[in-house]
């Protein structure tokens, strides 16, 4: 089944406390689903990370530990007491342990094995991966393969392996409307029937199922993304060439094409898509305001600086960079707010969440942008993200910082070219140029915090986006088209060695100062 990505699910999301989409939001989602699989809060939880993966270096700095605990407590990342995870676990009588092990081979750089003992002494061993930008995949429960990604309503029926022949699968599936897929997964011990739907399951149908003797346990899993995947929804285009053709043949602007895309994928109407994007812009705006105020403390290495930078541009000691004076200050502020646990929109990741706000809100006054322009610009950034995400999951742990800061800068460059009146070709060319400028950038966060060099790179990524948009509007020839630059970036990312992908073996994080800081 071809799975088309949604602008809101895979690119302009999640809405989460910082600092990281793949290390904060995704772990929270994985363990929230674990809570639903086992049917409540466990009494014991052991969360193991492969020593060869990225979690061992980052799980404290990027608050993955708090995220895992909160999810197991049945809390979503946006619940207000995120930082009280250990305290709340104690109150609920949940013992929790984190261990670094070398006896399971991680499928990705950010993988966890979660062993849970329920209050009824049942044992569950669940394998889950953070797959970038807040997306995740739970791929094994008690030795049984599953494929849980949170973008469908999902039902798990735990059955006796020997009783599976007695179950009439067709009659079970026939009860539900809008089924995307179903799978019968059998391990040595159990059988799990996994049913995914584009609509919520009805209580009556679930009650009827509980009368089936061979079904021992039913787990109903929430939709964790804004858009429910629907296999019947097909997009109007799914490539750079397709979008250019669609815009030209239908006389559509890049933003109109982006709305049409998300309407088709989500099944929402145009107004619903617009309103969802407008809400994202409001959340971004709040993070901009809070970031510039800087009334918060940051755990880790840095202190809030955006306000000082803002004030500096009122002095006479700087070279005027035009709108970038404000744009880089905003990018810094949003990243600092994210690091203080403020709620951000990952655009497309927590580590790159300052760049698009910097470009949109930095350009707002100089270009006299309306609220609708900001929403339209965000949608253009989003559709560029979709067209670069098929093989790329915006995960520094998988592809290096080129896939986080580089992709965000590319999306922002395209959005700015559009807001400057650029046509669809200029939008893609600006996006191509910004990504070219980030090719090969490694992921090397000092001490596992999303601070150094991440905040500085959000400033430079914002600047590169602006340079790229202006250069292309001036007629600069980027030569290599956007889709080929994306392919080259993904290919390079796959071949980068682990020490260049967040595992603390090279780059800024191994400098003498960095090592002293984390001692």
Contacts of 161 (CB under 8 A, 6+ apart): 186, 187, 189, 190, 191
CA–CA separation, 393 vs 146, rounded Å? 20
CA-based angle 503:103:122, to the nearest 5? 115
CA–CA separation, 476 vs 466, rounded Å? 13
Half-sphere exposure of 149 (CA within 13 A, CB side): 19
Q: Among residues 478 and 500, whose Cβ is nearest to ligand SF4?
A: 500
Tokens 């949608």, residue located: 379
Q: How far is the CB of 244 from ligand SF4 (least distance, A)?
A: 30
Q: Among residues 396 and 422, whose Cβ is nearest to ligand SF4?
A: 396
Q: How far is the CB of 44 from ligand SF4 (least distance, A)?
A: 31
Burial class (CB in 10 A: 0-12, 13-18, 19+), 491: exposed
CA–CA separation, 476 vs 413, rounded Å? 14
- Give Rg (Cα) of the chain: 23
Tokens 């590169």, residue located: 464
Tokens 């179903």, residue located: 182
Cross-strand partners of 101: 50
Q: Which of residues 396-435 bind ligand SF4 (CB under 6 A)?
A: 396, 401, 404-405
Q: Among residues 167 and 401, whose Cβ is nearest to ligand SF4?
A: 401
- Beta strands at 190-197 and 144-148: parallel, antiparallel or unpaired: unpaired
Strand blocks (E) in 149-201: 153-160, 179-186, 190-197
Structure tokens at 166: 């007695």
Q: Among residues 53 and 226, whose Cβ is nearest to ligand SF4?
A: 53
Counting every residue written for the chain, the total comes to 519
Binding mask 159-198 for ligand SF4 (x = CB under 6 A): ----------------------------------------
Q: Are 360 and 415 in contact (CB under 8 A)?
A: yes
Q: Are 383 and 40 in contact (CB under 8 A)?
A: no
Q: Does 502 bind ligand SF4 (CB under 6 A)?
A: yes
Q: Among residues 140 and 404, whose Cβ is nearest to ligand SF4?
A: 404
Q: Among residues 265 and 298, whose Cβ is nearest to ligand SF4?
A: 298
Q: How far is the CB of 349 from ligand SF4 (least distance, A)?
A: 6
Q: Among residues 235 and 400, whose Cβ is nearest to ligand SF4?
A: 400
Q: Choose the stretch contacting ligand SF4; rule: CB under 6 A; options: 28-36, 48-56, 453-461, 474-482.
A: 453-461
Answer for which of 443, 459, 466, 467 binds ligand SF4 (CB under 6 A) is 443
CA–CA separation, 45 vs 126, rounded Å? 11
Q: Among residues 150 and 351, whose Cβ is nearest to ligand SF4?
A: 351
Q: Among residues 197 and 353, whose Cβ is nearest to ligand SF4?
A: 353
Q: How far is the CB of 419 from ligand SF4 (least distance, A)?
A: 25
Q: How far is the CB of 55 from ligand SF4 (least distance, A)?
A: 13
Q: Which residue is nearest to ligand SF4 (CB)?
A: 396
Binding mask 191-230 for ligand SF4 (x = CB under 6 A): ----------------------------------------
Q: How far is the CB of 58 from ligand SF4 (least distance, A)?
A: 8
CA–CA separation, 335 vs 347, rounded Å? 11
Q: Does 444 bind ligand SF4 (CB under 6 A)?
A: yes
Contacts of 157 (CB under 8 A, 6+ apart): 172, 192, 193, 194, 195, 209, 215, 217, 218
Q: Choose the stretch contacting ligand SF4; rule: CB under 6 A; options: 114-122, 184-192, 227-235, 443-451.
A: 443-451
Q: How many residues bind ligand SF4 (CB under 6 A)?
A: 14
Q: Which H or E element spans position 217?
A: strand 215-221
Q: Among residues 73 and 344, whose Cβ is nearest to ligand SF4?
A: 344
Q: Among residues 226 and 397, whose Cβ is nearest to ligand SF4?
A: 397
Q: Does 445 bind ligand SF4 (CB under 6 A)?
A: yes
Q: How far is the CB of 18 from ligand SF4 (least distance, A)?
A: 11
Q: How far is the CB of 500 from ligand SF4 (least distance, A)?
A: 10
Return the closest-CA partner of residue 132 out of 350, 334, 344, 342: 350
Answer for which of 85, 454, 459, 503 binds ligand SF4 (CB under 6 A) is 454
Q: Does 351 bind ligand SF4 (CB under 6 A)?
A: yes
Q: Among residues 401 and 485, whose Cβ is nearest to ligand SF4?
A: 401
Structure tokens at 203: 């209580």
Q: Are 461 and 331 in contact (CB under 8 A)?
A: yes
Interface residues with ligand SF4 (CB under 6 A)?
A: 351-352, 396, 401, 404-405, 443-445, 450, 453-454, 457, 502
């Amino acid at each position: 089944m071809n799975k088309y990505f949604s602008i809101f699910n895979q690119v302009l999301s999640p809405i989460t406390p910082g600092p990281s989409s793949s290390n904060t939001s995704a772990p929270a989602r994985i363990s929230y689903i674990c809570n639903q699989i086992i049917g409540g809060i466990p009494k014991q939880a052991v969360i193991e990370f492969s020593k060869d993966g990225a979690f061992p270096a980052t799980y404290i700095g990027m608050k993955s530990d708090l995220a895992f605990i909160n999810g197991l407590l049945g809390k979503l990342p946006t619940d207000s007491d995120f930082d009280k995870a250990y305290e709340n676990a104690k109150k609920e009588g949940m013992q929790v342990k984190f261990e670094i092990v070398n006896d399971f081979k991680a499928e990705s750089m950010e993988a966890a094995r979660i062993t849970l003992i329920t209050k009824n002494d049942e044992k569950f061993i669940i394998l889950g991966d953070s797959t970038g930008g807040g997306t995740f995949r739970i791929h094994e429960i008690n030795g049984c393969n599953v494929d849980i990604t949170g973008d469908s309503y999902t039902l798990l029926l735990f059955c006796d392996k020997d009783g599976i022949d007695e179950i009439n699968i067709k009659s079970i599936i026939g009860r539900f409307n809008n089924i995307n897929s179903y799978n019968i997964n059998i391990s040595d011990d159990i059988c799990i029937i996994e049913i995914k739907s584009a609509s919520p399951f009805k209580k009556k149908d679930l009650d009827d199922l509980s009368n089936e003797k061979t079904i021992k346990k039913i787990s109903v899993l929430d939709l964790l993304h804004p858009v429910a995947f629907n296999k019947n929804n097909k997009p109007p285009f799914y490539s750079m060439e397709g979008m250019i053709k669609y815009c030209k043949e239908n006389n559509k602007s890049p933003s109109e094409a982006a709305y049409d895309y998300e309407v088709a994928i989500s099944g929402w109407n145009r107004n619903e898509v617009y309103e969802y994007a407008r809400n994202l812009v409001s959340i971004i705006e709040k993070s901009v305001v809070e970031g510039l105020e800087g009334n918060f403390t940051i755990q880790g290495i840095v202190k809030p600086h955006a306000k000082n930078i803002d004030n500096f541009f009122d002095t006479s000691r700087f070279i005027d960079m035009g709108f970038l004076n404000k744009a880089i200050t905003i990018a810094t502020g949003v990243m600092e707010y994210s690091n203080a646990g403020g709620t951000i929109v990952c655009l497309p990741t927590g580590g790159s969440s300052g760049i698009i706000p910097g470009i949109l809100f930095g350009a707002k006054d100089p270009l006299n942008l309306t609220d609708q322009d900001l929403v339209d610009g965000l949608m253009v950034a989003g559709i560029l993200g979709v067209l670069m995400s098929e093989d790329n999951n915006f995960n520094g742990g998988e592809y290096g910082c080129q896939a986080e800061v580089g992709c965000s800068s590319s999306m922002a460059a395209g959005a700015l070219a559009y807001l400057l009146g650029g046509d669809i070709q200029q939008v893609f060319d600006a996006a191509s140029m910004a990504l070219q400028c980030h090719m090969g950038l490694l992921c090397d966060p000092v001490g596992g915090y999303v601070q150094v060099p991440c905040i500085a790179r959000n400033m430079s990524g914002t600047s590169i986006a602006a340079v790229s948009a202006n250069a292309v509007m001036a007629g600069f020839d980027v030569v290599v088209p956007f889709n080929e630059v994306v392919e080259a970036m993904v290919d390079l990312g796959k071949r980068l060695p682990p020490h260049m992908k967040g595992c603390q073996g090279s780059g800024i994080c191994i400098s003498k100062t960095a090592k002293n800081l984390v001692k």
